[in-house]
Amino acid sequence: MEQWEELFAAIHARLERAVTTGDFTPVLEPGVLEEARRLAELASSDRANMEIAHIGGWLHWARYHGAADDRDLNTAIDAFTRCFIAGVDDVPDELLPVLAKQAVPVG
């Protein structure tokens, strides 16, 4: 297993715990943002980049729900916009109007 896949699996496991329990502590723990940053640096293919953008969006979306930090919301929107443009359907419904607006800038 490549290093990016290990980091991806670790972040995915954190998200699973947060979603299934409703406790966002796993995505707010110290070090999780460093894991996400390292994961983004290790992306080496288009498929990996999109998977990383997708899980990064979900990570920051969950962090936003756990701590209401606008930086996490903005990072989630940026990541999900890339996914939305690429045709990935699994994005938060609440963000669809924002993503559509981001994807097609006006003026």
Left if phi > 0, otherwise alpha if psi is -120 to 50, otherwise beta: which for 43? beta
Backbone angles phi and psi of 105, in degrees to 5: -65, 145
Backbone angles phi and psi of 69, in degrees to 5: -95, 120
Please answer whether residues 66 and 25 qualify as being in contact, where contact means their C-beta atoms are separated by less than 8 angstroms: yes
How high is the pLDDT of residue 18? 93
Mean pLDDT confidence for 86-90: 89
Closest CA to 54 of 26, 78, 83: 83
Please, what is the Cα angle at 84 between 78 and 86, to 5 degrees? Answer: 110
pTM attached to this predicted model: 0.82
Is pLDDT at 15 greater than 90 in this prediction?
yes
